[in-house]
Structure 1
């Protein structure tokens, strides 16, 4: 497994420092959340900073993906606003951020940009919300094709595209576009999917571009440290065997203790992977052998 950590969990650290800590702890990569403190896509001189971070990633031997879930990146008053489901002016703001993220990802050598649909505005009928999402995704997929980066679309509880069924619907509406991958959040599978978590992983595997991981409880959308929720991780990691992208710990609200939380997280995941007993061909120990 290529363990990674989301930099939104290191918001009190400078990005180069956070990357160095992750490398020292043995992580293989970073899921870099574009925001005011880390690679602000609207800051003057951002291209120079991106070049420096690309060099830093190379020196540390870290892979990367680009995430776009900063809470107040576009609107200082409203979290995750505007979205692709808003009116043309608001949706264009979100699309501009995502286009910048695609170009930054290309410059970093990151193969994936993560995104989500947003919450459907109360005044927008569901059919119109889906039409808006498809229209803007078509434009973004054109840009993704131009720069050679995949969009990793994340189903998010409470949003228009909330679950795997919603992602599959969007994929059909976009003609199964080869640049529309899936960002699977393992905690979300426990939170709201009607299947057990390993089954969700197996269903998602054909589309996986990026994985986020943390513990969670049924019906409660709260990202928890490993062991504080209800997920049995060895079967989940066994189901993920064969996936070669990043598996990124997402604990955005744990930045006050980021180095120790990151240390505990990778230790837990390594132990869980060992307990999974996967042999590299998708089999648990003893399976398929005489």
Structure 2
């Protein structure tokens, strides 16, 4: 089973970036989900170009792959979580988010990343659904153009509570935009358990052609809380088997953004859990082929 495991830096915010990358390499991770934020690689820093080159050299020296993630809570506005979004009523505010995502594409190209992650944002009060979708399509178009020029896919994530919350919403956006080639999907396995009608396994199978990035953690039905593995309800071996069967070649990144206080230990236990789940999936597959129970 070929799975490329990573860990998100938004779950390692108490570590310097160099230390976080060294930790993940030492633990055996294949890559990292690098959230652009002030404590690691600040997308608004005046020396961003040089710092990005330094990170690229560090990743290369450690043999780590990378996805660029853009879910920092207060990177643009110190008072509004994830604000402004691509749906903001203020055109200048929407343009600031668009510019950040274009910058993320540039960073991703310098790092040799396999995707740039983003999400839509929450529909503002007194905003119709049609207006929100119109804002989203207009604001994301320059990002898709940058992604097309760089050859880096833009992977939008269905996020509970956002305008684009489900896989059906992702396909709605694809249709509105005319199915542009650079637009792909970030599939969060926990979100599938939380919100989707289909099972996480079915979500992987149904979304396979558009998968560009995967985030993974445990979760409970109807509760949007990212949990360490074993604390939720997800049966992981079938999920990992479905990812392998889909021939997904990107990173599968552990997403525990509220657990930085225990980040190093959770990074250790998470990779052990996922490796064990992958072994269980392989054992079940072998048993099924033999038509009996393992000896």
TM-score of the two chains, using structure 2 as the length reference: 0.95
Q: Which SS does the other structure have where 2:50 is aligned?
A: helix
Give the corresponding residue for 2:105: 102
Give the corresponding residue for 2:83: 81
Q: Distance in 2 between matches of 1:161 and 1:285?
A: 38
Q: Which moved more, 1:186-195 or 1:131-140?
A: 131-140
Give the corresponding residue for 1:7: 9
Give the corresponding residue for 2:278: 273
Give the corresponding residue for 1:113: 116
Structure 2: unaligned runs, 5 residues or longer: none
Q: Distance in 1 between matches of 2:240 and 2:193?
A: 14
Give the corresponding residue for 1:49: 51
Structure 2 contact 102–142 (Cα < 8 Å) conserved: no
Give the corresponding residue for 1:206: 209
Give the corresponding residue for 1:180: 183
Q: Deviations over 1:171-212 (max 9, x none)?
A: 111111110010000000000100111001101111000000
Alignment of 1:205-224 (within 5 A): 205-224=208-227
Q: Distance in 1 between matches of 2:156 and 2:43?
A: 20
Q: Distance in 1 between matches of 2:228 and 2:187?
A: 17
Match status 1:255 vs 2:255: no
Q: Deviations over 1:85-122 (max 9, x none)?
A: 11211100100110110000000111211000000001
Q: Which SS does the other structure have where 1:277 is aligned?
A: helix
Root-mean-square deviation (CA, aligned residues, Å) is 1.2
Q: 2:149 aligns with which of 139, 146, 149?
A: 146
Give the superposition deviation at 1:289.
6.8
Structure 2 contact 114–250 (Cα < 8 Å) conserved: no
Give the corresponding residue for 1:69: 71
Give the superposition deviation at 1:284.
2.3
Structure 1: unaligned runs, 5 residues or longer: none
Q: Distance in 1 between matches of 2:288 and 2:96?
A: 51
